[in-house]
Chain A
Amino acid sequence: MAENTAENHQKSSKITLRPIQLSDIDDFMVWATDDRVSQYCIWDTYTSKDQALDFIKNNAMPHPWFRVICVENRAVGSISVSPNSGNDSCRGELGYVLAYEHWGKGIATKAVKMVVSSIFREWPHLERLEAYVDANNKGSQRVLEKAGFIREAVLRKHRIIKGKSRDMVVFSIISSDQHLDS
């Protein structure tokens, strides 16, 4: 599959994942306060630094698997895997968000690929990594396809986003789907 020119340029910029710190607050505010970014997310646009600090301290930092996506060590987004319990513990849900100015450069795809290549080893009980994407969010659907996820179904009126129930496309990658070179 041919990669677009923008992705080839971006390959020289180092993309890394690391745990979030309180000092990331200003970078966090860049994407969290942007309606274009929150449009297809289940959370509402953040309106205050206190709200963001509360999320970072009480949600992101204690989260079972939450990382900020960094370009040259500056946080430009975040990515997380949420586990399930009991008879649902074989699956985990992937979520990610990226600041608007960094869209279209292959950063989200790279971050997702990095998670896929490590999460199944970190969580040996995990069989399935899944993601739910608003049916109208074509950009995010392309990210998952490029990262090797399989599109399984469109689930009608599956989640409430911005006050209305939405059709969501469910994607998954199975531990045995992985290729050794990713």
Chain B
Amino acid sequence: MERHSDSDITIRPLDISDSEDFINLYADEKVRKFSSRDAFTSKEAAIEYFMSTDIPHPWIRAICLSGRPVGSISVSPFYGTEKCRAELGYVVASDCWGRGIATAAVKMAAKAVFVDWGHLERLEAVVDVENPGSQRVMEKVGFKREGVLRKYYLLKGRPRDAVIFSLLSTDDPLS
């Protein structure tokens, strides 16, 4: 298996010039399989979504391999009585799967977001039961598998069971 030194894998804020790479990322149906994003009807629609939703996201980073964007990772906050937690999400281009890229990116993002958001105590991830690749990433990073939530969310309009994982600011991998 081809492994990269973790120094080859970096995360950085998005730039408007990343729009082309984002369009290509989500044009890949393997990437879209477990994503809430549907295929865009046009390049203009894809750019519009990137500008209106990705760029202003509360916490989003491009995942880069040797400086080239190959994915993205984001943390979405909750509010009010739920502000102690936030939800992690990420995508990686399918031709980059199996190389430890998501694992490295999640480790870096988890460390960074707990520093950026001092009130955050819990980072959680909801992974489709039929997405073992992503479940393994969570386990390798040190997230705790808490259980399976039945018919929890809609994927392409169909209710899905999902595994819920969490990492606390006080958990081992981060201290």
- Are A128 and B168 interface neighbours, CB within 8 A? no
- Are A172 and B149 interface neighbours, CB within 8 A? yes
Interface hit among A27-35, A61-69, A150-158? A150-158
Q: What chain A residues lie within 8 Å of B159 (beta carbons)?
A: 90, 127-128
Interchain CA distance A86-B37 in the complex, whole Å: 12
Given known A160-B83, A161-B81, A165-B122, contact A153–B164 (CB-CB < 8 A): yes
Interface hit among B51-59, B88-96, B150-158? B150-158
- Are B153 and A90 interface neighbours, CB within 8 A? yes
Within 8 A of A (CB), among B129-146: 144, 146
Chain A 122-165 near chain B by CB (<8 Å), digits 1 or 0: 00000110100000000000000000001011111111110001
- A residues contacting the other copy or chain, number (CB 8 A): 26
Chain B 160-175 near chain A by CB (<8 Å), digits 1 or 0: 0000101010000000
Q: What chain A residues lie within 8 Å of B81 (beta carbons)?
A: 42, 159-161
Q: What chain B residues lie within 8 Å of A170 (beta carbons)?
A: 147, 149
Residue of A91, A155, A156 touching B152 (CB-CB under 8 A) = A91
> Is B121 close to A, CB under 8 A?
yes
Chain A contact residues: helix, strand, loop or mixed: strand
Q: What chain A residues lie within 8 Å of B151 (beta carbons)?
A: 90-91, 127-128, 172, 174-175
Question: In the complex, how many angstroms separate the beta carbon of B163 from the nearest chain A beta carbon?
Answer: 9
Q: What chain B residues lie within 8 Å of A157 (beta carbons)?
A: 84-85, 121-122, 166, 168
Interchain CA distance A152-B36 in the complex, whole Å: 24
Interface residues of B (CB under 8 A from A): 36, 81-85, 121-122, 124, 144, 146-155, 159, 164, 166, 168
Given contacts A90-B152, A172-B150, 16 further A-B contacts (CB under 8 A): A86-B154, A88-B153, A88-B154, A90-B151, A127-B159, A128-B159, A150-B150, A153-B146, A153-B148, A153-B149, A154-B147, A155-B124, A155-B164, A158-B122, A172-B151, A174-B150
